[in-house]
């Protein structure tokens, strides 16, 4: 994420409320991820708090600009192929100059059986509508991608979707009083009832399949592949309620 955009946006009430949701969500989705090396692609505020339950001790952040452990183009990572156990992409694709190339690099450096934890803003939401009006709620410099497009890319690269949750149903308005009073929308969105409108963002865990494995094609790889809920084997269960 561009430093000029992130540093200003992270100070807003809307960003703080979003990060609070992401901390709770990441704790559930990453607690069963393990391995020797974790690589985070792109800067995102409070990632240490988001990943506090992830059981990978050696972590590096790669970004096109400082602050980062490695300053490099996300489409040309100076990392050996197959050397990473967990790749974290916190809204990386929205801010990448070449999102498809960045995703291919994440696939290249990830070991077979490794995992990608990804956060993304939803194009088909009120946040996406504000982007069309050239007034994106997350600052300038981002380009929201359709979820079915990301699903296509992940399938072509041979990834299996293990878990997915949607989050943040509050209005994309930077008014602290409105954000506080609309907390009930999060409970509505997580209930079995249809939410008042689409969630602003989603989080997903993918697993890289070994060479020659038969791709698992869940129902979201149908006519229009959209990221759908799933279940992570080994104890990381997905709450099938909407979030």
* Residue 120 CB contacts under 8 Å (≥ 6 apart), including other chains: 91, 93, 94, 145, 147, 150, 201, 202, 203, 204
Q: Taking residues 176-199, report their average pLDDT.
A: 78
| Three-class DSSP category at 94 | helix
The residue ranking higher by pLDDT, 175 or 238, is 175
For the chain, the average pLDDT equals 80
**Interatomic CA distance for residues 241 and 158, integer angstroms:** 27
Name the most confidently modeled range: 53-57, 82-86, 144-148, 234-238. 82-86
Q: Decide if pLDDT at 223 tops 50.
A: no
Q: pLDDT class for 132, splitting at 50, 70, 90?
A: low
The DSSP secondary structure of 30-48, one letter per residue, reads: HTT-B-SEEEEES--TTHH
Q: pLDDT class for 190, splitting at 50, 70, 90?
A: confident
Delineate the domains of the chain, giving CATH numbers in brackets.
3-209 (3.40.50.150)
pLDDT tens string 57-110: 899 999 988 889 999 999 999 999 999 999 999 999 988 889 999 999 999 999
What's residue 203's pLDDT? 94
Residue percentage of the chain with pLDDT more than 90: 39
pLDDT tens string 16-59: 999 999 998 999 999 989 899 999 999 888 788 889 889 898 99
Measured in degrees and rounded to the nearest 5, phi and psi for residue 84 equal -115, 140
Q: pLDDT class for 141, splitting at 50, 70, 90?
A: low
Tokens describing residue 91: 């809204």
Measured in degrees and rounded to the nearest 5, phi and psi for residue 74 equal -70, -15
Where is 212: in which H helix or E strand? none
Q: Taking residues 226-236, report their average pLDDT.
A: 39
The 8-class DSSP code of residue 55 comes to B
Please state the pTM of the whole predicted model: 0.82
The residue ranking higher by pLDDT, 222 or 156, is 156
């Amino acid at each position: 994420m561009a430093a000029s955009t992130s540093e200003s946006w992270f100070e807003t009430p809307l960003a703080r409320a979003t990060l609070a949701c992401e901390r709770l969500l990441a704790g559930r989705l990453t607690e069963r991820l393990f391995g020797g090396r974790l690589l985070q692609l792109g800067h995102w505020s409070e990632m240490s708090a988001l990943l506090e339950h992830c059981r990978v001790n050696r972590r590096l952040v790669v970004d096109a600009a400082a602050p980062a452990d490695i300053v490099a183009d996300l489409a040309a990572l100076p990392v050996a192929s197959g050397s990473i156990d967990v790749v974290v992409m916190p809204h990386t694709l929205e801010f990448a100059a070449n999102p498809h190339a960045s995703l291919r690099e994440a696939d290249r450096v990830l070991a077979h059986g490794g995992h990608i934890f990804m956060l993304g803003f939803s194009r088909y939401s009120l946040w996406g509508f504000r982007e069309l009006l050239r007034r994106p709620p997350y600052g300038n410099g981002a380009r929201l991608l359709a979820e079915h497009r990301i699903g296509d890319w992940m399938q072509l690269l041979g990834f299996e979707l293990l878990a997915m949750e949607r989050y943040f149903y509050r209005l994309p308005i930077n008014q602290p009083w409105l954000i506080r009073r609309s907390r009930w929308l999060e409970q509505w969105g997580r209930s079995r009832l249809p939410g008042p409108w689409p969630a602003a963002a989603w989080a997903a865990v993918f697993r890289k399949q070994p060479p020659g494995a038969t791709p698992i094609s869940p129902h979201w790889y149908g006519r229009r592949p959209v990221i759908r809920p799933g279940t992570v084997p080994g104890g990381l269960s997905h709450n099938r309620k909407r979030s």
